[in-house]
Amino acid sequence: MNIDTKALAEKYGTPLYMYDFDYIENRYTTLKDAFAGKKSIVNYAVKANSNLSVIAHLAKLGAGADCVSIGEVNRALTAGVDKYKIIFSGVGKRDDEIREALQKDILMLNLESEAEMKRVELVAKELGKEARISIRVNPNIDPQTHPYISTGLHENKFGVELDMAKRMYIYANKSEFLNPVGIHFHIGSQLTKLSPIQEAASIVADLVRSLKAIKIDIKFFDVGGGIGVVYDDEVTITAAEYTQAIFQATKGLDITLLCEPGRYMVANAGAFFTKVLYEKVNAGKRFVIVDGAMNDLIRPSLYDAYHKIEAVGVDANVETTPADVVGPVCESGDFFGKNVPLPPLSHNDLIVVQSAGAYGFTMASNYNTRSKPAEVAIQGGKDRLIRKRETYDDQVRLELEYLGVMG
């Protein structure tokens, strides 16, 4: 992407998120093409980046949506996603969320426990509706990824084991108010090895075969998401390798294949811009203090995640020294990178944190009463604002009317 990052930062201010919509389109097309010849839906994982313009861009390309709250379901609908391409997942759905999802007639609710199934059945009965459901199966496969984003082991909170899943399908199939149309698994995020995906898909496909043998007609086979991306020097899997593994596992089954890419779509489409406030040295330790903070981008603090950090417009021949890039938030965990090789930097120099399109703004907070940054889209070489910078007034709007009211 050929873009004047300094001009962009001057125009919109910092901290700032920028997303390359042409890159996102290319990623969607690559993945969708890898499913060629098979019935498939690419359900974008809204949690990765929930900006309405991002979702709408993917919806226009034909994408569905994987949602983990009724808020995300409503974002998907607002952005123009076809309701029959929306899945509502998540381990804890309230009755009002279940009710609203059923009333909005989305494709299916993905269930994660027997107790949840009984609640969905009860709500569906109250509404006099049939609930289309899938069940998230936990195949107990080690995804070989960060423990916080591992989801397919028995020690994780997600899904049900195989025997429980089969009992749930048999129950749902007999219920007047449940229609078991799908099956789902998702073993983790940032997967860079193919074998765990192959193994999990094979286990779940065998369960589908056993269900079809007892006349439970599973129509949708949802393989989740998790395709890894390159943040540093990772060697990851291709879309073609991913789909071929799924094709092999589901050979002979008449099903529609679903996948839920999030990070794969948007991580490397995004960058986070922040300006240098000043430098300081403590007992020989160098710090570059910037106007962005962990409330804007928490991945380094939360996961010890690596993001490539670069200084913009600085002479490449200038000698670099290690520096911790830190923000103004009152926490020792407020950093974007440690021992980052950087040239000497001055006030208002621009720093870019790369690969920030996924789990960046969507995990941002107002900690320390800091306002959330603006978001900008780049498409066809042109920039446009897709979320205004938050103000202090935006932050306190829901509180002001109660100021001074005593209990």
Q: What is the DSSP string of 336-382?
A: EEEEEEE----TT-EEEEES-SSSSGGG---GGGPPPPEEEEEETTE
Give the 3-state DSSP-derived string for 205-261, with helices as H, strands as E and coil as C: HHHHHHHHHCCCCCCEEECCCCECCCCCCCCCCCHHHHHHHHHHHCCCCCCEEEECC
| Helical residues (DSSP H) of 106-185, grouped into ranges | 114-127, 162-174
Closest to 296 in 3D by CA, of 326, 276, 320:
326
Closest to 272 in 3D by CA, of 86, 75, 8:
8
Please indicate whether residue 259 is annotated as part of the active site. no
Look up residue 294 and give its amino acid: M
Strand partners, 131: 178
- By DSSP bridging, strand 16-20 and strand 270-282 are antiparallel
Taken as a whole, the chain contains a residue count of: 407
Q: Which CA distances in Å does 274 have to 150, 297, 328?
A: 31, 11, 12
Closest to 184 in 3D by CA, of 84, 233, 257:
257
Residues 233, 234, 237, 239, CA torsion sign: negative
Answer whether 311's CB lies under 8 Å from 343's CB: yes
Token pair belonging to 386: 């897709």
Q: Which of 115, 283, 330, 406 is catalytic?
A: 330
∠ CA(284), CA(290), CA(291), 5° rounding? 155
Phi, psi (degrees; rounded to nearest 5) at 290: -120, 170
Token pair belonging to 214: 């007892």
The verdict on whether omega for the bond into residue 343 sits within 30 degrees of 0, i.e. cis, is no
Which amino acids are annotated catalytic? 330
